[in-house]
Amino acid sequence: MSLIRQNLTVSERLGWQVMDTVDVPGAVYLDHAATTPMVPAALAAMTEQLRVVGNASSLHRAGRTARRVVEESRETIAQALHARPSEVVFTSGGTEADNLAVKGLFWSRRAADPRRVRILASAVEHHAVQHTLRYLEKFGFEVVELPVDRYGRVDPDALRDLLLGAWRSAAASKRRGPADRALPARGKAKPK
C-alpha cells in the first residue's frame, strides 16, 4: 500500500483532513497551530468576497456594501456562538488575536482595579502569548507560570494552591485594613 493511501486510510478513521500541501499532495496536515485548513463552505464564501472590491471603512457605495458584508458576517458568527456581535472581533491572524485578547483583558481589569496585576499562564503557552506576557511585565504585571503535565495540561493542584493562596491573602488583608490589601507577589508556581 502506498504511503499516500496509508495516510488516507488512517486519516479517514481518525477524521483528519487529507489535503494537498505545498510539497506533498494528499498529506495529512497536523500543524494547526500554524494554520488550519478552511472547510469548503468557508473557502467558497471567502473566495466569493475576494472577487468584490470595496474598503469597509470607505463612505462610497462599494465601501458601504463591504461594511454591510462584514457586519452581517459578524452577526452570523455571533449568533452561532451565542454571543453579541460586539463580542466578535476580526483580526488578521493568531498573533494579533493573542495580543488583543491578553492585553485587552488585563488593561481593562487593571483599569477597574489597579491591584489586579497577577496573570496566570501555562508553561506551554504559544510564543505569541509568552511575548505579550513579557511585555506586560514591563508595566508592573506579575506573570505566574503554571506547571503542566506530560500532556501539556495545567497541574490542577498547583492552580488550586495558587488560587487558594491568593484568596487567603485577600481575606487576611480585609482584616488588616484597606491600606494593606494588595496581594503579595508569588513568582513561579511550584509543581507537585
pLDDT digits (tens, 9 = 90+) for 111-143: 999 888 889 999 999 899 999 999 999 998 899
pTM of this structure: 0.62
**pLDDT at residue 137, as a whole number:** 94
Residue scoring higher pLDDT (2 or 129): 129
Please state, in angstroms and rounded to a whole number, the distance separating the CA atoms of residues 177 and 163: 21
CA distances from 75 to 79, 85, 101 (A): 6, 5, 20
Instruction: Give the residue-averaged pLDDT of 34-48.
Output: 83
**pLDDT at residue 40, as a whole number:** 85
58-113 confidence digits (pLDDT tens): 999 999 999 999 999 999 999 999 999 999 999 988 899 999 999 999 999 889 99
**pLDDT at residue 2, as a whole number:** 45
**pLDDT at residue 85, as a whole number:** 97
Q: Class of 94-180 per CATH?
A: alpha beta
150-191 confidence digits (pLDDT tens): 888 998 988 888 888 766 655 555 554 444 444 344 455 555
Kindly list the domain boundaries of the chain, sorted by start residue: 1-37, 38-90, 94-180
5-36 confidence digits (pLDDT tens): 444 455 555 555 556 565 666 666 666 666 77
Neighbours of 53 (CB within 10 A): 9
Dihedral angle at the C-alpha atoms of 118, 153, 105, 93, nearest 10 degrees? 140
